[in-house]
Amino acid sequence: MTHAQVRGDPDLPEFLWGSDGVEDGPRPSSPRPAKTRPGHTPGEAGLWIFILGDMTLFAAILIVFLWERRSDPVVFGESAHQLIQPIGAANTLVLVLSSYLVVRAVFAHRGGRYPQARRLVAAAVGCAAVFAGLKAFEYYSEISSGHTPSSGTFFTFYFVLTGLHLLHVIVGTVLLLAWQAMLKGRRSWTGSQKVAEGIASYWHMVDLLWVAIFTLVYLVSAE
Protein backbone atom coordinates (compact mmCIF):
# COMPACT_ATOMS: atom_id res chain seq x y z
CA MET A 1 0.00 0.00 0.00
CA THR A 2 1.38 3.40 -0.89
CA HIS A 3 1.11 6.56 1.11
CA ALA A 4 -1.27 7.95 -1.47
CA GLN A 5 -3.62 5.06 -0.81
CA VAL A 6 -3.64 5.44 2.95
CA ARG A 7 -3.72 9.23 3.08
CA GLY A 8 -6.68 10.54 4.98
CA ASP A 9 -7.88 7.19 6.32
CA PRO A 10 -9.28 8.15 9.73
CA ASP A 11 -8.54 4.68 11.15
CA LEU A 12 -4.82 5.01 10.55
CA PRO A 13 -2.37 6.95 12.72
CA GLU A 14 -2.11 10.63 11.81
CA PHE A 15 1.46 10.39 10.56
CA LEU A 16 0.25 8.18 7.73
CA TRP A 17 -1.85 11.09 6.53
CA GLY A 18 1.20 12.68 4.96
CA SER A 19 3.14 14.52 7.64
CA ASP A 20 6.42 12.80 6.69
CA GLY A 21 6.81 15.02 3.70
CA VAL A 22 5.93 12.36 1.15
CA GLU A 23 2.33 13.44 0.96
CA ASP A 24 0.94 16.71 2.19
CA GLY A 25 -2.72 16.53 1.44
CA PRO A 26 -5.52 17.88 3.62
CA ARG A 27 -6.93 15.78 6.41
CA PRO A 28 -10.46 14.53 5.98
CA SER A 29 -13.10 16.71 7.52
CA SER A 30 -15.32 13.72 8.36
CA PRO A 31 -14.79 9.96 8.44
CA ARG A 32 -15.92 8.05 5.39
CA PRO A 33 -18.50 5.30 5.81
CA ALA A 34 -16.85 2.09 7.01
CA LYS A 35 -17.92 0.10 3.95
CA THR A 36 -15.85 2.32 1.64
CA ARG A 37 -12.64 2.04 3.65
CA PRO A 38 -10.20 -0.38 2.00
CA GLY A 39 -8.22 -0.96 5.21
CA HIS A 40 -4.50 -1.38 5.57
CA THR A 41 -2.91 -4.86 5.49
CA PRO A 42 0.17 -4.92 7.75
CA GLY A 43 3.05 -6.33 5.69
CA GLU A 44 2.55 -8.43 2.56
CA ALA A 45 -0.89 -9.97 2.04
CA GLY A 46 0.75 -13.34 1.35
CA LEU A 47 2.43 -13.29 4.74
CA TRP A 48 -0.98 -13.44 6.37
CA ILE A 49 -1.72 -16.75 4.65
CA PHE A 50 1.40 -18.10 6.32
CA ILE A 51 0.58 -16.50 9.70
CA LEU A 52 -3.02 -17.75 9.77
CA GLY A 53 -1.89 -21.16 8.51
CA ASP A 54 0.78 -21.39 11.20
CA MET A 55 -1.72 -20.34 13.86
CA THR A 56 -4.11 -23.02 12.61
CA LEU A 57 -1.38 -25.68 12.77
CA PHE A 58 -0.69 -24.81 16.42
CA ALA A 59 -4.42 -24.70 17.14
CA ALA A 60 -4.83 -28.19 15.68
CA ILE A 61 -2.03 -29.57 17.87
CA LEU A 62 -3.50 -27.86 20.96
CA ILE A 63 -6.98 -29.22 20.24
CA VAL A 64 -5.61 -32.76 19.80
CA PHE A 65 -3.71 -32.23 23.08
CA LEU A 66 -6.94 -31.25 24.88
CA TRP A 67 -8.73 -34.20 23.27
CA GLU A 68 -6.07 -36.60 24.57
CA ARG A 69 -6.26 -34.95 27.99
CA ARG A 70 -9.94 -35.91 28.25
CA SER A 71 -9.04 -39.61 28.12
CA ASP A 72 -6.57 -39.34 31.02
CA PRO A 73 -7.07 -36.07 32.94
CA VAL A 74 -5.41 -37.37 36.13
CA VAL A 75 -2.12 -38.27 34.45
CA PHE A 76 -2.19 -35.01 32.44
CA GLY A 77 -2.84 -33.07 35.66
CA GLU A 78 0.03 -34.77 37.49
CA SER A 79 2.33 -34.20 34.53
CA ALA A 80 1.33 -30.53 34.23
CA HIS A 81 2.15 -30.07 37.92
CA GLN A 82 5.73 -31.15 37.09
CA LEU A 83 6.13 -28.07 34.86
CA ILE A 84 7.65 -24.94 36.36
CA GLN A 85 4.65 -22.58 36.14
CA PRO A 86 6.54 -19.45 37.29
CA ILE A 87 8.92 -19.84 34.32
CA GLY A 88 5.97 -20.19 31.94
CA ALA A 89 4.34 -17.08 33.45
CA ALA A 90 7.60 -15.12 33.35
CA ASN A 91 8.07 -16.09 29.71
CA THR A 92 4.53 -14.91 28.94
CA LEU A 93 5.29 -11.51 30.47
CA VAL A 94 8.63 -11.35 28.64
CA LEU A 95 6.98 -12.00 25.26
CA VAL A 96 4.14 -9.54 25.94
CA LEU A 97 6.78 -6.91 26.78
CA SER A 98 8.72 -7.75 23.62
CA SER A 99 5.54 -7.39 21.54
CA TYR A 100 4.89 -3.97 23.08
CA LEU A 101 8.47 -2.90 22.30
CA VAL A 102 8.01 -4.06 18.68
CA VAL A 103 4.79 -2.03 18.33
CA ARG A 104 6.63 1.04 19.58
CA ALA A 105 9.52 0.29 17.20
CA VAL A 106 7.09 0.23 14.26
CA PHE A 107 5.73 3.65 15.25
CA ALA A 108 9.24 5.04 15.77
CA HIS A 109 10.34 3.73 12.35
CA ARG A 110 7.24 5.25 10.74
CA GLY A 111 8.09 8.58 12.35
CA GLY A 112 11.69 8.40 11.07
CA ARG A 113 13.14 8.06 14.56
CA TYR A 114 15.77 5.49 13.64
CA PRO A 115 17.92 5.49 16.83
CA GLN A 116 14.84 5.02 19.02
CA ALA A 117 13.49 2.29 16.75
CA ARG A 118 16.86 0.50 16.88
CA ARG A 119 16.93 0.62 20.68
CA LEU A 120 13.39 -0.75 20.87
CA VAL A 121 14.14 -3.61 18.46
CA ALA A 122 17.35 -4.37 20.40
CA ALA A 123 15.33 -4.53 23.62
CA ALA A 124 12.86 -6.92 21.94
CA VAL A 125 15.80 -9.11 20.89
CA GLY A 126 16.96 -9.01 24.52
CA CYS A 127 13.52 -10.25 25.60
CA ALA A 128 13.79 -13.09 23.07
CA ALA A 129 17.16 -14.04 24.57
CA VAL A 130 15.65 -14.05 28.07
CA PHE A 131 12.77 -16.23 26.82
CA ALA A 132 15.19 -18.70 25.22
CA GLY A 133 17.39 -18.75 28.34
CA LEU A 134 14.44 -19.47 30.63
CA LYS A 135 13.19 -22.12 28.22
CA ALA A 136 16.64 -23.77 28.15
CA PHE A 137 16.68 -23.84 31.97
CA GLU A 138 13.17 -25.31 31.98
CA TYR A 139 14.15 -28.03 29.50
CA TYR A 140 17.27 -28.78 31.58
CA SER A 141 15.15 -29.09 34.75
CA GLU A 142 12.55 -31.30 33.08
CA ILE A 143 15.06 -33.62 31.46
CA SER A 144 17.09 -33.80 34.71
CA SER A 145 13.90 -34.91 36.44
CA GLY A 146 13.47 -37.71 33.93
CA HIS A 147 10.78 -36.01 31.83
CA THR A 148 11.61 -36.52 28.17
CA PRO A 149 9.51 -36.52 24.97
CA SER A 150 9.04 -40.28 25.45
CA SER A 151 7.85 -39.98 29.07
CA GLY A 152 4.21 -40.10 28.09
CA THR A 153 1.59 -38.37 25.95
CA PHE A 154 1.62 -35.15 27.97
CA PHE A 155 5.37 -34.67 27.70
CA THR A 156 5.37 -35.61 24.01
CA PHE A 157 2.91 -32.77 23.37
CA TYR A 158 4.79 -30.47 25.75
CA PHE A 159 8.11 -30.90 23.95
CA VAL A 160 6.56 -30.75 20.45
CA LEU A 161 4.54 -27.59 21.18
CA THR A 162 7.23 -25.71 23.09
CA GLY A 163 9.97 -26.92 20.73
CA LEU A 164 8.08 -25.73 17.64
CA HIS A 165 7.37 -22.46 19.41
CA LEU A 166 11.04 -22.03 20.38
CA LEU A 167 11.92 -22.54 16.70
CA HIS A 168 9.55 -19.67 15.88
CA VAL A 169 11.24 -17.52 18.54
CA ILE A 170 14.63 -18.19 16.93
CA VAL A 171 13.33 -17.35 13.42
CA GLY A 172 11.63 -14.22 14.81
CA THR A 173 14.86 -13.14 16.49
CA VAL A 174 16.76 -13.45 13.21
CA LEU A 175 14.06 -11.36 11.52
CA LEU A 176 14.24 -8.72 14.28
CA LEU A 177 18.03 -8.54 13.80
CA ALA A 178 17.47 -8.07 10.04
CA TRP A 179 15.07 -5.23 10.81
CA GLN A 180 17.66 -3.69 13.11
CA ALA A 181 20.21 -3.82 10.28
CA MET A 182 17.71 -1.97 8.06
CA LEU A 183 17.31 0.66 10.77
CA LYS A 184 21.07 0.98 11.08
CA GLY A 185 21.18 1.73 7.36
CA ARG A 186 18.39 4.29 7.96
CA ARG A 187 16.12 2.62 5.42
CA SER A 188 13.09 4.90 5.10
CA TRP A 189 9.64 3.73 6.12
CA THR A 190 8.46 4.08 2.53
CA GLY A 191 11.10 1.62 1.34
CA SER A 192 10.79 -0.88 4.17
CA GLN A 193 7.18 -0.65 5.35
CA LYS A 194 6.06 -4.10 4.23
CA VAL A 195 9.17 -5.86 5.56
CA ALA A 196 9.06 -4.09 8.93
CA GLU A 197 5.33 -4.61 9.37
CA GLY A 198 5.68 -8.24 8.31
CA ILE A 199 8.44 -8.88 10.85
CA ALA A 200 6.39 -7.16 13.56
CA SER A 201 3.29 -9.23 12.70
CA TYR A 202 5.33 -12.45 12.79
CA TRP A 203 6.68 -11.53 16.23
CA HIS A 204 3.20 -10.80 17.56
CA MET A 205 2.11 -14.24 16.27
CA VAL A 206 4.97 -15.77 18.31
CA ASP A 207 3.61 -13.90 21.33
CA LEU A 208 -0.04 -14.94 20.92
CA LEU A 209 0.88 -18.59 20.27
CA TRP A 210 2.75 -18.66 23.57
CA VAL A 211 -0.28 -17.19 25.36
CA ALA A 212 -2.33 -20.15 24.08
CA ILE A 213 0.37 -22.73 24.94
CA PHE A 214 0.94 -21.37 28.46
CA THR A 215 -2.80 -21.28 29.17
CA LEU A 216 -3.71 -24.72 27.87
CA VAL A 217 -0.58 -26.75 28.68
CA TYR A 218 0.70 -25.13 31.90
CA LEU A 219 -2.46 -23.81 33.56
CA VAL A 220 -5.62 -25.57 32.40
CA SER A 221 -4.05 -29.03 32.34
CA ALA A 222 -2.91 -28.60 35.95
CA GLU A 223 -6.39 -27.68 37.21
Partner 1 sequence: MNGAAPRRVTVVFVGLVVATCITWWLGSGSSPTGGALGLAAMLTVLIAFAKIYFIGRDFMELRSAPSGLRAAFNVWVGAVAVAAIALVVV
Other residues' Cβ atoms within 10 Å of the Cβ of residue 125:
20
Q: Which is nearer to partner 1, 15 or 140 (CB)?
A: 15
User: Considering only 54-62, 138-146, 155-163, 169-177, which stretch makes contact with partner 1 by CB under 8 A?
Assistant: 54-62
d(CA 179, CA 88): 27
Which residues, other chains included, contact 16 with Cβ-Cβ below 8 Å and sequence gap of 6+? Answer: 3, 6, 7, 9, 40, 110
Q: How many residues interact with partner 1 (rule CB under 8 A)?
A: 60
User: Judged by CB under 8 A, which of 26, 33, 38, 146 binds partner 1?
Assistant: 38
Q: Which is nearer to partner 1, 91 or 173 (CB)?
A: 91
Give 158: exposed, middle or buried? Use CB within 10 Å, 0-12, 13-18, 19+.
Answer: buried
Instruction: Give the number of other Cβ atoms within 10 Å of residue 200's Cβ.
Output: 24
Report, in Å, the least distance between residue 181 CB and partner 1: 20
Under rule CB under 8 A, residue 75 binds partner 1: no
- What span, in angstroms and rounded, lies between the C-alpha atoms of 8 and 27? 5
> What is the end-to-end Cα distance of the chain in Å, rounded?
47
Stretch that binds partner 1, among 49-57, 129-137, 159-167, 180-188 (CB under 8 A): 49-57
Q: Which stretch binds partner 1 (CB under 8 A): 124-132, 133-141, 145-153, 206-214?
A: 206-214
Residue 99 lies near partner 1 (rule: CB under 8 A):
yes
Q: Is 56 in the site for partner 1 (CB under 8 A)?
A: yes
Is 121 a binding residue for partner 1 by CB under 8 A? The answer is: no
DSSP assignment, residue 12?
S
Choose between 57 and 167: whose C-beta lies nearer to partner 1.
57
Q: Which of 22, 23, 40, 132 binds partner 1 (CB under 8 A)?
A: 40
Distance CA 154, CA 39 (A): 42
Q: How far is CA 199 from CA 44, 65, 135, 220, in A?
A: 10, 29, 22, 31
Q: Which residues of the shown chain bind partner 1 in the complex (CB under 8 A)?
A: 9, 11-15, 19, 38-42, 48, 52, 55-56, 59, 62-63, 66-67, 69-70, 85, 89, 92-93, 96-97, 99-100, 102-104, 106-113, 116, 197, 200-201, 204-205, 207-208, 211-212, 214-216, 218-220, 222-223
